[in-house]
Structures are given as structure tokens and as C-alpha cells.
Amino acid sequence: MKGLHGRHIAEITAPFLDASGKKRTVSLISQLLDDNGQLVGQLEVVLKFDYLIENIVASGWWESNKAFLVDDAGRILISTLAENRKRLADNNDHLEQRTLYGIMSMSYGTFLGKGQIPTEVSGFFKLREAPWSLVMIAPGEEILASIVSFRSFYFIMGAGFILLILLLIRFVTGRTVFSIKEVSQAAKRIAQGDFGETLPVKSHDEVGELTRSFNAMTRQLEERIRLKEALDLAMEVQQNLLPQKFVTVEGLEIAGKCIYCDETGGDYFDFLKFDEFGNGRIGVVVGDVVGHGIAAALLMTTARALLRCRASLPGDLSQMINDVNRILCLDTSESGSFMTLFFMLIDLHKKELQWVRAGHDPAIVYNASADSFDELKGKGTAIGVDDQWSFQDYHSNWESGQIMLIGTDGIWETVNDSNEKFGKERVMEIISEMQKSSARDILHAVTDRLADFRQNNTPQDDITLVVIKFAD
């Protein structure tokens, strides 16, 4: 040891395996240098190879798997195989070849054999203490058992969750479909007129909101149908209040018609024959209540009843209208409603006309002999406005061949698609063209021309006209 004093050890070489003897040894060689760095000798340490790897060989994984200890060139230093192999991958095994390539380029790695579940899995790790690598090759099912188990568990759980979701969707959609079917069946019953009970609201979602809306719609529809039935009945009653037959007597034809823009309206016409008028006298009435619909129909019915009741009592024409106006004002003082009226008495024997104009359009008179038009005018306000108003009756004579038309403003104020009014001039043209026709034909001609003129427009007001023709 004294000879080594003042010397120091240079780098130690990598372990060198010597397998030429009966027992393999591993040598570690280091050069000895003096203080000046000059080589003065070598130091070699020789160890038994089996001693170095006895812990590895004694481990459980070495005994239970195919394992190798190889150098960087792939030479097998020791293995668990019974056969004497010199080099890794010398049997052309694909997995061993990939492992050998990995040893040459990486410090550690793992490679999978062929198959969905590899038949074998290899892994290697380079030792830091020596230029050797530990290689282990094991069955794929054994190495990947936990992964395969997890995958199977994952698939089973995934399938279970999917099944659960499908069942949940089935349950939810089943309830939704059932609720929608209930609504559909209820709609079919309603279409047949069976409203029945309202549907129960079973949820607070969109389907529940749909059911609530459907119930509200059903109630409103039922109310509307009841109202429609009531309006139809009111229309039938009101139509029955109008004259059902035209007047045809010797020397006189009277035709009248009422066309309501709603189920009911405020227009009105009537033909009156009472003993109080005297023999050979006929009363013709045309009225127009402001507005249309139910309210106008009620006031029209009231005015008709008052006129018929008062006409059966003694008194002249102006006195009759004064009495009707005074009583009607009791009903219209708060509502502001009123009614225009044209009441005319025709005396067939004396060829006289007597009329009261209460705010209504004047009657149109066509004189066939002169081919000219005139009007039956007169002062007077609508009835139901001023209970103190004193109406005045007017007189004139009628001539053979004359044609008279008493109408409401719904005739001349009818508009077409161009917003052009029908006007009184067109009415006069029709009368002049059809002067040889009957009162019935003239009436139908006016209503037909009105319908053609209006085209696709919805009527905005009631239309009433009475045509009177005195025979030649």
C-alpha cells in the first residue's frame, strides 16, 4: 500500500464480462496516475458474475417470466430460458427485434406483440451501474389483465348507463307522448262538439303549459260556440221580424231586403197595414240604427215594436213618430244610440204620399215619363236623440210608372278594392235601365251589382233597401 502513496485513480472502465472460463467473471479496470498525471500502473477488480446477479435471479418476476440480461449489442448474458441462446432476436421473433432496436436508442421502453390483446408484452430497462439491460417478456393477458378488466368494466358500465338513459328517455317521452295523445283525443272530441271535462295538468314543463293553454282554448271555444249559437238564434229571430213576403196589390209592387254584415244588425224595414191607416193605405218603414251587431239589433227590435204598437193607435203620422221618439229616448239617453228612419204612407185611392224623414237619406224617386230623378226630402233628426223634437210630415202625389227606392247608407258607401264608393249615381243608373222591370227584379239587380262592385272586400255596414213601383 505504501507504493500507492501519492498516486490517484483515473476513470474506472465499464464492467467487462469474461465468459471464457468455467465461471464467468466481471472485471473493473482503473489506471493509476502519479501527481504529474503520468501512468504508473493499473488496478483491476474481478468479481464473480453470479454474485452480481444473485439478487436479480432470486426475484420472483425473474423466475415467473421470460427474462434476459443483455448488453448493448444484444448479447444475452443470462436468461431464464432452458435453451442456450447467444443473442436477443436470433430466433427472428418480431417482438424481440423491436425490443432490441429500442435498447439501442432508448433507456427504457415497452412494446406490444400482435393481436387485439397482445400475446406477449416486452419491457426493458438499462442499468445505470453497467452497460447492460434487463429485458422481460410476459404473456399479454397477464400484463394487461387489469386494463382488460377495466375495459370490460367500462363497457359494461357504459352499456348500463346507455340502457338507463334509454329507459329514462323512454319514460320521459312516454309521459310526453301520452299527454300529447290526451290533448289530441280531446281535440277530436271537441271537433265533434263534446267539450267534456278539462284535461288534468300533470307537470310544470312545456307539456303542462300546452295542456293549460289547451284547457283555456277549450273554455274560450265553448263560450264562442255558445255565443255563436245564441247569435244564430238571434239572427233567425231578427230575420223573422222582417217581412217574409213582398207586397203586390193592384197598381203597386213593393220589394224589400236586408243584408247584415254580422249575424245581426241594426237595419230594418217593414210593411204596415192597419185599420187606423184607412182602407187602401200601406205604410213603408226603413230604419238604420247607428252601428251594427247585437246592440244595434236590440235597439232595432225595440223601435220596431214601438212603431207597430203606436201605428195601431189613432193619430197622424207626425204624431206617431213623435210618440215613438219620446219613448225611445228613455232607452238611448245613457247609451248615445239613435236610429234614422223614413216612414211613408201610400194612399192607393187618392194617389197620395205622406212621409216623415227622421235623419234618414231621402227616398229616390224615378219619373218614367220624364226620365228624371227626384227625392222625397224633409226636415227631421234621428229618433232617440232629442225627446222634445217635433217631427213634421210631408205630402206629395205619386204617378203611374214611378219607381221609388228607400235605402240605407250601406248601399252607396260600399267600397271596392280601389276604395271607390258605389254611390247613388249607380243606383239611379240601375233604376233607369230596369224601369220596365218589376220591383223584385230591380231590387235583385241592385244587390247583385253591389256584390260585383265590392269584389273581395268584406261588407262593413248593413244594407237595406225597399223598391216601390207604381204600375203604368
Range of weakest confidence among 161-170, 386-395, 397-406: 161-170
Tell me the torsion sign for CA atoms 201, 206, 207, 209: positive
Q: Most confidently modeled of 120-124, 227-231, 388-392?
A: 388-392
**pLDDT at 2 (0 to 100):** 47
**pLDDT of 161 over the 70 cut:** yes
**What mean pLDDT value characterizes the chain?**
83
Spatial distance between the Cα atoms of 406 and 153, rounded to a whole number of angstroms: 96
**pLDDT of 414 over the 90 cut:** yes
**pLDDT at 1 (0 to 100):** 46
Taking residues 22-39, report their average pLDDT: 68
Report in angstroms the alpha-carbon separations of 471 from 248, 249, 399, 431, 451: 11, 10, 9, 15, 28
DSSP 87: B
| 339-357 per-position pLDDT tens digit | 999 999 999 999 999 999 9
Intervals of CATH 3.30.450.20 along the chain: 2-145
**pLDDT at 13 (0 to 100):** 61
> What is the percentage of the chain residues whose pLDDT exceeds 90?
34
**pLDDT of 388 over the 90 cut:** yes
**pLDDT at 396 (0 to 100):** 95
Tell me the torsion sign for CA atoms 298, 304, 310, 312: negative
Q: Which residues share a beta bridge with 339?
A: 289, 383
**pLDDT of 52 over the 60 cut:** no
Range of weakest confidence among 72-86, 147-161, 293-307, 346-360: 72-86
Neighbouring CB atoms inside 10 A of 213's CB total 11
**pLDDT at 75 (0 to 100):** 82
Spatial distance between the Cα atoms of 53 and 26, rounded to a whole number of angstroms: 11
**pLDDT of 253 over the 90 cut:** yes
Work out the angle between the directed axes of helices 423-433 and 439-454 (0-180°, nearest 10).
140
Burial 150-173 (b: 16+ CB within 10 A, else e): eeeeeeeeeeeeeeeeeeeeeeee
Higher pLDDT, 366 or 135: 366
> What is the percentage of the chain residues whose pLDDT exceeds 70?
86
| 133-151 per-position pLDDT tens digit | 888 888 877 777 677 777 7
Range of weakest confidence among 199-203, 306-310, 391-395: 199-203
Top CATH class, 2-145:
alpha beta
Integer-rounded Cα Rg, in Å, for the chain is 59
Helices (H), 25-144: 49-52, 54-58, 60-64, 94-105, 140-143
**pLDDT of 26 over the 80 cut:** no
Domain 245-470 has CATH 3.60.40.10: yes
Enclosing H/E stretch for 235: helix 206-241
| 74-108 per-position pLDDT tens digit | 887 777 776 778 888 888 888 888 888 888 888 88
Spatial distance between the Cα atoms of 164 and 441, rounded to a whole number of angstroms: 80
Cell of 31: 489506471
Q: First vs last Cα of the chain: how many Å apart?
A: 170
Least Cα distance to 462 among 249, 292, 309, 321 occurs for 292
Higher pLDDT, 184 or 318: 318
Cell of 310: 203606436
Intervals of CATH 3.60.40.10 along the chain: 245-470
**pLDDT of 309 over the 80 cut:** yes
- Indicate the pLDDT class of residue 455, thresholds 50, 70 and 90: confident
- Indicate the pLDDT class of residue 392, thresholds 50, 70 and 90: very high
